[in-house]
Structure 1
């Protein structure tokens, strides 16, 4: 296994110091706070959602992302704060490799499972409603499988490496060794496969929802139409957000891994740092998608948009001395019409 040596960075002192401590602090703070808030909301509204299958996946995703952020960022920020003089203990670097590999892969698989679950719920609603989903077993299988893949470098299948600017460790995809390149291809190909399945599943969900939307005439009353329309809006918005954020955050790291694995001169620099920060951003944004795009919030936004687009303005009542006198009955009937003209409710 490759020695964990920081000497590669001493010759790039100015380049290393150019890396600011602000991005890791912001990422760590927003990620930890967002996942904690998502967990609090899940428990607070547990009576309404009754821990349906979708919310179990959201809970597992928040727990996985939170643990990954909590274990990594305090040590990484310590190295930034020490002006890059604090060195990782060798055992921590091995743990950091396992942590990154496990959290990245398991989060991606949970999002994929969530997408497949939504697809099954939309395409086969009756079977889904009465079926035994075994969500807990699926989550356990995801975590076990991710732990196995993340353990490959620790078992000698490939090696680990400290990456620029010496604040994170990951599987060695900047190596010319054959075993390292094979391990890189296995991990990146698996991530790419999960990404493709997620995109396909979400696209199928959106297509199914839009297709069924044209069949609203089969519903018996307006209440059922409105209720399903709200549900469809929620599903489409959430799925679109998930697939866009997931794709944007994951593609840079997968591309960098494949480029380095096939390059004659693999790089270990700012491009790799940016790629891993983009991937970590997925764990930071995920809880905020759930927090902001909750069904209740989308329903309120949808009603507000419809109200504005239909030309119905929001009333604003101005209370004046004349209107108070009208309320007290101190004005005569003849004066009522004049006062009403002055104090009538104005619309914005």
Structure 2
């Protein structure tokens, strides 16, 4: 009965809103798909090139993690974005492209799998970096690429099994406001195991965020301590100071992006679970939007739509904060600033010479992060 009311109200809403909103809204998933594909493809290319170099033996575990994250984000966008775009082109009428309802379940599995995988892969990278900095002797002896590959495979398999629980009858995936995507239902307590499934997703996501943030804080602290032990006026000390600054900025960027992108969705999910509100209820409550309870539901649903878009934005930002930002921006920022501020040709030549020397030292500096500290 509820499904029929949802479909009816959705059609009523589309009749009045499609002409004004459809053409504008479809630009959002198209833009996200294109930018995400470009960023993650570029990241995969750079990772592949770096992984093939013999001098990057010590960094292969980290490169595998970055490559896996970029592949996960890219594959997730390729599977979900075309469906969203198709729904917009069908006038926001999901039933036109999914009369059986199986596509909604598939979309929900993709959202859950690729969302949790991205979070757990971020945690795996944070743990890997923390071990490399705080315990380099153990890291160099035990952290092999085979161990990294096994860990990544376990993460993917466990997350996929968890996402398939609604297919097995535990939990439920439903269409979410405004009817262009499917995700975990947060308000259907009648469905067996639905509250367990929804709460577990939110708790796992928050736990992954906490692990990532904690490990990054430990890594930053370890970097600062090692940098202080190498303090001095030598060239090596200056290299360590520069590299520490770059890495700290990168880690702070990672933490900010994760918190901003994922915290709203996970916190709002717990709130909607506690109040027994689901995003698909917006369609049913569209008949009487003037009622206070209906306005509250619509407010939650609009926030939920914004939160899921922010979480999807993380797929676009991941390759930049983990790889491209450091490779392209951080190493060039100071030199570009010097080139702009210096007026004389001689100073610019010196800056160019410094740039060439710095580029030659980049690889050695990255390897120094993972070398055991001499006693």
TM-score band, normalised by the shorter chain?
0.7 to 0.9
Q: Does 1:167 align with 2:180?
A: yes
Specify the alignment match of 1:300 in structure 2.
Answer: 332
Q: Looking at CA atoms only, which structure, 1 or 2, has the larger radius of gyration? A: 1
Q: Does 1:247 align with 2:259?
A: yes
The C-alpha deviation readout for 1:91-122, integer Å capped at 9, x for no partner, is 22111111110000011000001001111111
The C-alpha deviation readout for 1:108-167, integer Å capped at 9, x for no partner, is 000001001111111012322232341101101110111111111111111110111111
Q: Does 1:186 align with 2:194?
A: no
- In structure 2, relative to structure 1, the CA distance for the partners of 1:146 and 1:264 (3 Å cut) is closer
CA apart distance, 1:229:
2.4
Cα distance in 1 for residues equivalent to 2:79 and 2:27: 18
The SS at the match of 2:271 is: helix
Cα distance in 2 for residues equivalent to 1:83 and 1:312: 54
When structure 1 is superposed on structure 2, of 274-283 and 128-137 the one drifting more is: 128-137
- The structure that is helix-richer by fraction is 2
Structure 2 length-normalised TM: 0.76
2:313 corresponds, among 253, 259, 281, to: 281
Cα distance in 2 for residues equivalent to 1:140 and 1:291: 22
The SS at the match of 2:143 is: coil
Cα distance in 2 for residues equivalent to 1:88 and 1:96: 11
1:123 corresponds, among 97, 121, 134, to: 134
2:229 corresponds, among 187, 206, 215, to: 215
The C-alpha deviation readout for 1:143-195, integer Å capped at 9, x for no partner, is 01111111111111111101111111112113243632221111111111111
When structure 1 is superposed on structure 2, of 204-213 and 112-121 the one drifting more is: 204-213
Structure 1's unaligned 5+ residue stretches are 318-348
- In structure 2, relative to structure 1, the CA distance for the partners of 1:99 and 1:264 (3 Å cut) is closer
Q: How many residues are matched? A: 311
Contact 1:163 1:169 in 2 (8 A): yes
Cα distance in 2 for residues equivalent to 1:115 and 1:154: 32
Contact 2:43 2:319 in 1 (8 A): yes
Specify the alignment match of 2:157 in structure 1.
Answer: 144
Specify the alignment match of 1:132 in structure 2.
Answer: 143
- In structure 2, relative to structure 1, the CA distance for the partners of 1:254 and 1:237 (3 Å cut) is same
Cα distance in 1 for residues equivalent to 2:39 and 2:234: 37
Contact 1:49 1:55 in 2 (8 A): no
RMSD, matched Cα: 2.5
2:28 corresponds, among 20, 23, 26, to: 23
The C-alpha deviation readout for 1:37-76, integer Å capped at 9, x for no partner, is 1111222333264562111100000111111100111121
CA apart distance, 1:304:
4.5
Cα distance in 2 for residues equivalent to 1:110 and 1:238: 17
Specify the alignment match of 2:124 in structure 1.
Answer: 113
- In structure 2, relative to structure 1, the CA distance for the partners of 1:202 and 1:8 (3 Å cut) is farther
Structure 1 length-normalised TM: 0.81
Contact 1:174 1:260 in 2 (8 A): yes
The C-alpha deviation readout for 1:14-35, integer Å capped at 9, x for no partner, is 4565351111111111111111
Specify the alignment match of 2:361 in structure 1.
Answer: none
- In structure 2, relative to structure 1, the CA distance for the partners of 1:312 and 1:52 (3 Å cut) is same
Structure 2's unaligned 5+ residue stretches are 281-300, 347-375
Q: How do 1:1-348 and structure 2 match up within 5 A?
A: 6-13=7-14, 14-15=16-17, 18=21, 20-46=25-51, 47=53, 49-50=56-57, 52-85=60-93, 86-89=96-99, 90-133=101-144, 134-177=147-190, 179-217=193-231, 222-268=234-280, 269-295=301-327, 297-305=329-337, 307=338, 313-316=342-345
